[in-house]
Amino acid sequence: MRIVTWNVNSVRLRLPLVIRLLGELSPDVLCLQETKCPDDKFPHLELIDAGYPHIAARGMKGYNGVAIIARRPFSSTVALDWVGRDDSRHLSVLLEDGIELHNFYVPSGGNTPDPEVNDKFDHKLRFLDEMAEWFRTNRPGGRDLVLTGDLNIAPFEHDVWSHRQMLKIVSHTPVETERLATVRSSLGWIDTIRHVIPEPERVYSWWSYRARDWTVSDRGLRLDHIWVTPDLASRISGGFVHREARGWERTSDHAPVVTDLA
DNA sequence: ATGGTCGGTGTCCGA
């Protein structure tokens, strides 16, 4: 089973690229974030035509939005609210083989890494605290789980182009990476990409639009993740970042991340 | 310390 996650940054603008991605990578399940698309405007027909008739979408006008797109049927679709907000940052489904899949768009957190003066950063930390608590207390029947999405945190030293320069920058501050470590320990989650590509090899999934040439400076961050619960670790058969998609015309600032499970 | 670029509820705000 191939799972792909992509922060698409507008699913309607980039629908042709989503179709291209489905054709090139042939995922069983594609999780999208930042769809920026209300549910009644989600492009169901084009995705059905591309061979993906099973779709769950949770979006709003202009901001946020997540979707799960699959070849095979799923059930038990749930959209949870976090930090008391109904802002389209989560969807979960139950796949046919019994795996429960959670797709997240964690708040970016703004520019100042201080929850006292920056409400967005406070929101991000609370969101992470709720994730850890939720997974500690919600695991029906010891089910296998997948947690994926844009978590907006680069957890490890070699997940950023410069650890030293990023330590005070939102996405790589110790308060965030420690919070994310707490989420990871809630169920002993396995970071599938780091399982396949251990540190110190550098892996990124996001490069700013602002760089003159993102390939030359290669100042990236690994913000997009695919985690599995420990019993699934032995089934991880591959994982990579589809960097080519970051080079497509008018593409997202994120690249898709891929995990294969035997 | 600054400014650089995208997308959409667009001429500002969030990323």
The pLDDT tens digits for A193-247 are 999 999 999 999 999 999 989 999 999 999 999 999 999 999 999 999 999 999 9
Beta-bridged to residue A57, according to DSSP, are A67
Nucleotide nearest to A37 (CA to C1'): B8
What average pLDDT does the segment A11-40 reach? 98
Nucleic acid strand B within 7 Å of A77 CB: no
Going from the C-alpha of A53 to that of each of A4, A94, A186, the distances in angstroms are 16, 16, 33
Does position A59 have pLDDT exceeding 80, yes or no? yes
> ∠ at Cα A15 (A13, A20), nearest 5°?
135
Whether nucleic acid strand B comes within 7 Å of the CB of A60, the answer is: yes
Instruction: Using the predicted structure, report yes or no on whether residue A131 has a pLDDT greater than 80.
Output: yes
Task: Confirm whether any atom of chain B, the nucleic acid strand, is less than 7 Å from CB of A117.
Answer: no
pLDDT at A142: 84
Residue A20, Cβ density class (10 Å: 0-12 exposed, 13-18 middle, ≥19 buried): middle
3-state secondary structure of A45: helix
Burial pattern A174-208, b for ≥16 Cβ within 10 A else e, equals eebbebbeebbebbebbbbbbebbeeeeebbbbbe
Nearest residue (CA) to C1' of B14:
A63
Taking chain A, what is the end-to-end CA distance rounded to the nearest angstrom?
6
Q: What is the pLDDT of residue A141?
A: 77
Asked if strand B comes closer than 7 Å to A218 Cβ, the answer is no
Q: What is the pLDDT of residue A140?
A: 73
Rounded Cα–Cα distance for residues A255 and A245 (Å): 6
The alpha helices in chain A, defined as continuous H runs, are 15-25, 44-49, 119-137, 163-166, 174-187, 192-196, 214-217
Q: What is the pLDDT of residue A139?
A: 85
Question: What's residue A188's pLDDT?
Answer: 96
